[in-house]
Copies of this chain bind each other. A is one copy, B any other.
């Protein structure tokens, strides 16, 4: 069976593994801290690739940042990684074919091929973490847009400038539905700048009424965002992944969404492919495109 060396590049960590056409992880997961400079990042990639490239058919990157429609380079900025990282020429890293896709898109693809949205021609995946990532599948293909940057979950939840978003604009879905969004909701509702997401989650577990109200407000914001996406895409399902997804009651959100949309009922489901969805999706995409 054909295999990919999958490399997941985030702002703080770089993971790698060998993954086959079924999405099975065949090796141990290797982990590196993401270096601070362009040269060190490139050197880390070379080190990982040299070790494994003879044993695989393709190199598959799942990376932060928007990836172009040629799947060989990064478009625009990438948040918390070296500023010049987007200049990297991925194909020069190996003599094997190198395929690159955005990490949220890769994770959406993993869910579509072997996870919660398997067989769904139209789905939207939301990765709820420190921020919010998005990967959208339309008609069995990743939605990429004109330059590959589609799927950014920066649509407004309010239009009167309440919360500044990491993108520089105001009141995006990300700054409400993310972990940071939950903290800000708690701060506002409890009038306490020191409250943490952990305090909320722990409070809810203990049955604290105020913390439960905070979590429910956060879930309502998630539902409000999904309502818009469901009306725009009429998707088979919405998949929630990322570290914050575990705190979402998907039945509650699904019921709220279906009570408000004008399109046909959709499902709200949790992702099932786990922490390495990005690598799995990258491998499956790369092996499909470079199919011998």
Contact = CB atoms under 8 A, between A and B. Distances in A.
A56 interface: no
Contacts of A6: none
Contacts of A231: 152-155
Given A261-B154, A262-B152, A234 B146 contact: yes
Interface residues of A, number: 53
B227 A154 contact: yes
Contacts of A145: 122, 233-235, 263
Residue picked from A77, A136, A138, most chain B C-beta under 10 Å: A138
Interface stretch (A32-40, A42-50, A156-164, A283-291): A156-164
Contacts of A75: 264
Number of identical monomers bound together in the oligomeric complex: 2
A145 B136 CA distance: 12
A227 B173 CA distance: 12
Given A149-B264, A159-B158, A260-B168, A143 B227 contact: no
A205 interface: no
Contact of A157 (B121, B143, B156, B232): B156
A234 B264 contact: no
Contact of A234 (B150, B157, B169, B227): B150
Given A139-B141, A146-B234, 5 more contacts: A66-B234, A120-B146, A138-B143, A146-B236, A146-B266
B158 A146 contact: no
B152 A227 contact: no
A131 to B, nearest CB: 11
Interface in A56-90: 66, 75-77
Contacts of A236: 146
A145 B122 CA distance: 6
